[in-house]
Amino acid sequence: MRKQDFPQDVQAYLKKHTLKTWGTFLGLVLAFGLILFFFGEQLFGELLSWQKILVYSLVMLSTPFISGFFKRITNRTYLGTVERVHVRTTYTDHNWRTFWEPPTENHVMLWIRTPKGKLVRKTASTFSVQYRSKTNENSRADANVDTFQVGDKVLHLAGASHTVVLPKPSDDYVVCAVCGQSNPIAQSTCHDCGYTLIKE
């Protein structure tokens, strides 16, 4: 399956994400540029020329960070087969212990072979558990860590916060690639967001 094979409404979602990403960034650049053009002298008139250039440059360079441009532009669509799964658990330990321990997180890393043969490494998801019982020292927060298995076909849409496993013919449910909600396999559209469900 290629991007052009996605349902029309899903392709429209991807285009909307792209337009929103660039629109937010360029809008912020324009807004900051106009502020500096019209009010720059009032705000920074007492600075030396090289200081003004430095301040103006820093203000304009801050726009991609404020708009989240880099995070959005790197959140791209990918599709492929899982070749390796690694779960990394992180938590904060203390010298003192109470009945409840600090938050624990599982970071699920996937190595995915794309249809073009390229092997890519992606963070599929992070699952948080607020507390871990002191009575079970060996247990780590393992919620949903078995979601991804070697051989699964997975899909991530640009702008989405999750990666979904495309259902097999024997599966009873399909997860929406747009919003992440689970739906009965017989459904063609998501009951939550209304987008077409991708089943390969």
Q: Where are the domains of the chain?
A: 3-74, 78-166
Burial class (CB in 10 A: 0-12, 13-18, 19+), 176: buried
Give the pair of three-digit tokens for residue 98. Answer: 């109470």
pLDDT of residue 22: 96
- pLDDT digits over 93-119, tens only? 544 444 555 566 778 889 999 988 999
Q: Which residues is 182 bridged to in the sheet?
A: 175
Please say whether the beta carbons of 145 and 128 come within 8 A.
Answer: no
- Reduced to 3 states (helix: H, G, I; strand: E, B; else coil), residue 171 is coil
Residue 89 CA to its chain's centroid (Å): 19
Q: Within 13 A of 149's CA, how many CA atoms are on the CB side?
A: 6
77: left (phi over 0), alpha (psi -120 to 50) or beta: beta
Q: Which helix (H) or strand (E) holds 79?
A: strand 78-91
pLDDT of residue 139: 40
**Cα 81 to Cα 84: distance, rounded to the nearest angstrom:** 9
* HEC string for 175-190: ECCCCCCEEECCCCEC
Give the pair of three-digit tokens for residue 163. Answer: 């990666």
pLDDT of residue 87: 83
What is the 8-class DSSP label of residue 97? -
Q: Which helix (H) or strand (E) holds 155?
A: strand 153-156
Residues of the chain with pLDDT under 70: 1-4, 91-104, 125-145
% of the chain beyond a pLDDT of 90: 56
Q: Which helix (H) or strand (E) holds 8?
A: helix 8-44
Check: CATH 2.40.50 for 78-166?
A: yes
Give the pair of three-digit tokens for residue 58. Answer: 């820093």
pLDDT of residue 142: 43
pLDDT of residue 147: 80
